A and B are shown apart, each in its own frame.
Chain A
Amino acid sequence: AQRVTQPEKLLSVFKGAPVELKCNYSYSGSPELFWYVQYSRQRLQLLLRHISRESIKGFTADLNKGETSFHLKKPFAQEEDSAMYYCALFTNAGGTSYGKLTFGQGTILTVHP
């Protein structure tokens, strides 16, 4: 069975400091990973996906299959980055069968001024 682990429930940094939110996964197939973010009083929204290899709002995440990790990084944190971050693994049963997201427990990031 698939599993996503985010070891830190809370992460606190100062503005301008680097930040890394950890995510480890367990899955026997080829993983498709996402980071979702939820800002205060807003809905859950996609931040980035590994398949796109993109940088969104200064965040990047690299899939490391050897370490089964997909850590989220930003070199210089901003106050507006304060939010709840979820790492999620998409698994598909194949063909037109369903695909679901398995989420980690989330990490609350607080960026202090």
Chain B
Amino acid sequence: ETGVTQSPTHLIKTRGQQVTLRCSSQSGHNTVSWYQQALGQGPQFIFQYYREEENGRGNFPPRFSGLQFPNYSSELNVNALELDDSALYLCASSVREFTYNEQFFGPGTRLTVL
């Protein structure tokens, strides 16, 4: 069984640029959630994808967008990067139909915006 993987590991961008982060869900998992973890804070929910559609969103502006593909992998896109977007971005996969709502996390992508 393969765990959740994310790429790239680290990324440095400048303000105003656009970035795409990638996530491969754990084998058999059909739901992907994205979280932003600023330094010294707990992860914050960005949005969730299920059946290739956004299925819930946290308090993040529209310049944060995503995709889910038929193989359940997912992308997080951030446009017009701001300095405050610097954070660790976590992807978590789960199975919607399971009773236990456990989410399995990837190692994260560290984004630095200069």
Q: Which residues of A pack against B, CB within 8 Å? A: 4, 6, 32, 34, 36, 43-46, 49, 51-52, 86, 88, 90, 92-93, 96-106
Contact = CB atoms under 8 A, between A and B. Distances in A.
Interface of B: 4, 33, 35, 40-45, 48, 50, 55-56, 58, 90, 92, 96, 100-108
Contacts of B58: 100
Given A43-B105, A46-B102, A90-B101, A101 B40 contact: no
Q: Which 10 A-B pairs have the closest CB atoms?
A: A98-B56, A103-B42, A44-B105, A100-B45, A98-B55, A98-B48, A90-B101, A43-B107, A103-B43, A105-B42
B56 A93 contact: yes
A82 to B, nearest CB: 18
Contacts of B4: 43
A110 to B, nearest CB: 16
5 contacts: A32-B101, A99-B48, A100-B58, A103-B35, A106-B42
A32 B105 CA distance: 18
A106 to B, nearest CB: 5
